[in-house]
Structure 1
Amino acid sequence: MSISLETFFLDPSTEGTLQARIQQMVAQGILAGRFRSGERLPSSRKMAEHLGVSRITVTLAYTELVADDYLTSRGRSGYFVSDNAPEPPAFTAQRARTTTVDWNRALGHRYSDGLGMQKPSDWAQYKYPFIYGQADPTLFDTANWRLCALQALGKRDFAALTADYFDGDDPQLIEFIARQTLPRRGILASPDEILVTMGAQNALWITAQILLTQRRRAATEDPCYPALRSILTQARCQLSHIPVDSNGLPPDLLPRDTDVVFTTPSHQCPTSATMPVARRKALLERAERDDFLVVEDDYEFEMAFLGAPSPSLKSLDDTGRVIYVGSFSKSLFPGLRLGYLVGPAPFIHEARALRASVLRHAPGHIQRTVAYFLSLGHYDALVRRTSKAYHDRRQVIDAALAAEGITVAGEGAYGGSSVWLRAPAQINTTLLAQHLRDKGVLIEPGAPFFAGDSPPQNYFRLAYSSIGPKRITEGVALIGQAMREMM
């Protein structure tokens, strides 16, 4: 039996090449049970005429479907649905019409309240996206990343692609981190002191799970990264919020019973303040005196375009009290979700065991692709190009903010990708953000960064990582206009 031509049409909502869309169209028909084993498909010529595409495109699509055993070729008779093609389920899928579960009682723990910040998934559709942490397609080296990914898919790297490392990591990536990345921050570490994580946030979660209990006290900066506050809340530890100043976290304000301090000394999140070397040394002296550990989140250290970055806390630590968190997700792209932990071997041993019990390890193919991208010099070239672009954008946004009279409350001493701003006291920046979205402008209200039930409402953050210089000036002008209207 032949399948009618009228059965086939290309869904305009599908993406990909014409060949891929034709493959998808036929495969979905088989999976849905519309096309049965042994039924004959239209010839490539008739299908091409019907769909308005070239015959070779249809032939190539049919050939791929034969390779995947959806179709079979019978010489001059044409293409047929294979006897080995996937069978549709013999039962009808359905969902429960109602629920008798009281989920308020059934949920033992709640995590949704700690999400804090929300960023629109369609941020790239806005004309003025001052959103932090998103990749700029005009800066990223897509071509060389693709080549590295293809190289990682090669036969020589088959084991790296398919093997279960259990609690291990790609040795090539670990070697590069140890020999190239960490020495730039003044850190020397052996492979048993390094663990690859699914981004910096995963590294912070692992650290909190290992070091904190209900009886221990953690101290974090205020304001700080909202997801970190959520992680520490989930750890059910005693928590102290330490107000930061223009130099970051003041060590003198730490409670004497502190067990673990979480800090962002290079670029305080979100104020971008940089902790001076003298204060870094004072923090380490206090850690030794009061016997606590320090977790250093060294995000964005690569984006140093105004001056050389300060030495990392880890590089100043000669007693093994600092656990270092790094990330490639900020310097490459956020969807990569690849970071690393550096600490004493006993800590990394436990971190490796915890990671193995939750997600085993980061995907081998991603680790090997990053290893190639780093070792072939593409990463350094990308960092230089990105730093130059950020430098140009920083000059533009500084001038635009000055022209609009908007107060800068914090900015990175040697670079970064955002500025921390303070609006007049009577302006609620959450309402300001809602108003600006209608004008195509996205900003980040500052309230979620603060602890407590009554956080300041007049702070906000502008990032310049995902918006070009021309639009920066236009967008800041719209922000200034909206603030004057709200006044």
Structure 2
Amino acid sequence: MQSDADGRLTPGGGTDALFWGSLFRDLDREGSFLQLQIRQIIVSAIENGRLPLGARMPSSRDLAAVLKVSRNTIVIAYEQLIDQNFLIARERTGYFVAGLPKHIGAAAREPGGATRDDGRWTSRFAHRPSTYRNIVKPLDWQAHPYPFIFGQFDPGLFPTNDWRESARAALSVPEINNWARDLIDGDDPALIEQLQLQVLPRRGIRARSDEIMITIGAQHALYLIAKLFITPTTRIGVEEPGYPDARNIFGLLTPNVVPLRVDSGGLVLGDEFENCSLVHVTASHQCPTAVVMPLARRHALLQAAQSHGIILIEDDYDGELMPEEGELPPLMSLDRGSSVLYVGSLSKALAPGLRLGYVVAPAPVIRELRALRRLMLRHPPLNNQRVAALFIGLGHYRSHLARVGSVLLERARILDRLLPQHLPHCTWSRGAGSTHYWVSCRPGTDTVKLAELARAQGVVIEPGDVFSIDEGSARHCFRLGFSSIRTERIEAGVERLGKVITQTG
């Protein structure tokens, strides 16, 4: 990289071109918003010190030539960076880095303090959540051709144009005035209204506005409920096998996390159940076995909960995504004794990164949950809430569910046909409306190792050991989701998976 007499970077040399090419190596020229990408890369380089104070930038013509983009794209990016005081323009000289205050730049470049005593910190932690067993999905799952994982974003099914229209509408001046306020412990009334009118009725649930609260995903809802109700002496029941993050959340607050047996009809009632104060239950699609709790057992569960004063935390994590004959109404819609706290999510239907969930509960519970949520984060971002409200109110949510439901049902039918052919020595369960299968291999199979071997063949599955308190009891099982894999890739993926299972015995 060439320098002038003042040590500033100058364009034009071969090594200079190499530097700028390296700096912009992650630029996606096929992607959208090129000038936004260019601005982000320059700002990041200034903040991390690669472009120091006073560094001379290439001319717009030179940088456009190096990056093989339009000169206008570079001009617009430079003008925006000048407006933001990252660059300055000097007449007949060029563009230069305005830089950051020296103390800020120095602090940003320091990786840590004078010493890093990890042992000192470890001894002072009240809890070690990083040591808990969690569901782990490879971060690069989209790079694998056959991702049979549950609950992840499928770009081909996301309603991009409809969501963009809703987002644009939320950025009008009147809408900004609505969501830019701080509501303290409140939520966007428009989203609450749309949940009342269009989302909850699809699940047979009627609720007043003071019986609904928005959360940052369903897991946030579970944490708030646990924090409100659980003390160190509380006995809380969890399904075994069951959702590991719910088990971990409850375990933070009490040692009395009680495993409750699951069979082909879901949660089994009995003495252990009756001795609990709260019970977490996935009645619609048991996590992870995907079985549906029969209607008679749902009524029996509600009756037992009312008789013994048990609070049921109904986690309807997979509700309404794939309407299918045989689906049953959630417990909340059948509850006449105010025993159920209902947790739902918009994220599963749209995209996990949206992080919008909700709780439906009696008004006194919602009032306390709001006060507790205020202590944590006040309320979820109102701009996201308003976009979701507009998306639902414009009819996009209903049409999106119809489209997604049709695609997912087709995938389920393909898997129903293929699994007996390619996994003949396995058994599986999937209740109506569920978007995953719970597959059991031969006893002694280690699905953790199986998952590693399958990933080497481009197939991603989820080992079952993490779902059980006893790691060994579900180690021969795995979860096979189909919401994230493209329909045309299912057959080849199942065939490859079957060969891996056969080879591992």
Percent identity (aligned): 37
Other-structure match for 2:85: 69
Q: Superposed, which structure 2 residues align to 1:300-315 within 5 Å?
A: 300-307=318-325, 309-315=327-333
Pick aligned residue for 1:60 from 70, 76, 95: 76
Aligned to 1:92: 106
Aligned equivalents of 2:234, 2:154: Cα separation in 1: 41
Counterparts of 1:88-487 in structure 2, within 5 Å, are 88-89=102-103, 92-93=106-107, 94=110, 95-96=112-113, 98-100=115-117, 101-307=119-325, 309-404=327-422, 405-412=424-431, 414-452=432-470, 454-487=472-505
Tell me the secondary structure at the aligned position of residue 343 of structure 2. strand
Do the aligned residues in 2 keep the contact of 1:324 with 1:343 (CA within 8 Å)? yes
The alpha-carbon deviation at position 125 of structure 1 amounts to 0.8
When residues 433 and 27 of structure 1 are mapped into structure 2, their CA distance, relative to the original with a 3 A threshold, is closer
TM-score, scaled relative to structure 1: 0.92
Give the CA deviation at 1:260.
0.8
Alignment match of 1:12 (pick from 22, 25, 30): 25
Matched-pair contact (CA < 8 Å) for 1:132–1:462: yes
State the AA in 2 paired with 1:92: A
Which blocks of at least 5 consecutive residues in structure 1 are unaligned? none
Deviates most, 447-456 or 430-439: 447-456
Alpha-carbon distance in 1 for matches of 2:106, 2:74? 32
Shift of 1:449: 0.8
Contact 1:444 1:461 in 2 (8 A): yes
2-side partners of 1:303 and 1:26: how far apart?
Answer: 42
**Contact 1:43 1:78 (C-alpha < 8 Å) held by counterparts:** no
State the Cα distance separating 1:470 from its structure 2 match: 3.3
Q: CA deviation at 1:22?
A: 4.1
User: How big is the shift at 1:175?
Assistant: 0.8
One-letter code aligned to 2:153 = A
* 2: CA distance, partners of 1:437 / 1:77: 57
Q: Secondary structure at the match of 2:473?
A: coil
Report how many aligned residue pairs link the two structures: 483
Alignment partner of 1:325: what SS? strand
User: 1-side partners of 2:105 and 2:414: how far apart?
Assistant: 62
| Per-residue CA distance 1:145-182 (angstroms, 9 max, x = gap) | 12211221221111344222221111110111122211
Partner Cα separation in structure 1 for residue 65 and residue 501 of structure 2: 59
CA distance in 2 between counterparts of 1:486 and 1:29 reads: 48
8 Å contact 2:148–2:481 — kept in the other structure? yes
Q: CA deviation at 1:340?
A: 0.2
Write the distance in 2 (CA, Å) between the matches of 1:29 and 1:471. 40
Q: Deviations over 1:393-426 (max 9, x none)?
A: 11111111111214333211x2221011110113
CA shift, 1:244, in A, is 0.8
Structure 2 length normalisation: TM-score? 0.89
Q: 1:277 to 1:21 in 2, by over 3 A?
A: closer
SS at match of 1:455: helix
Residue type of the alignment partner of 2:426: T
Deviation string 1:125-144 (CA, Å, 9 cap, x unpaired) is 11111111111111111121
Quote the Cα distance in structure 1 between the aligned partners of 2:332 and 2:383.
29
Q: Which deviates more from structure 2 when the two are superposed, residues 156-165 or residues 286-295? A: 156-165
Give the superposed CA RMSD.
Answer: 2.5
Please state whether the residue corresponding to 1:282 is helix, strand or coil.
helix
Cα offset for 1:224?
0.5
Specify the SS of the correspondent of 1:92: helix
User: For residues 234 and 28 of structure 1, do their structure 2 counterparts lie closer, same or farther at Cα, with a shift above 3 Å needed?
Assistant: closer
- Displacement after TM superposition at 1:336 (Å): 0.9
Query: What's the CA shift for 1:98?
Result: 3.8
Distance 1:36 1:356 in 2: 42
The aligned amino acid for 2:132 is G
With over 3 angstroms needed to count, the CA separation of the structure-2 counterparts of 1:48 and 1:201, relative to structure 1, is: closer
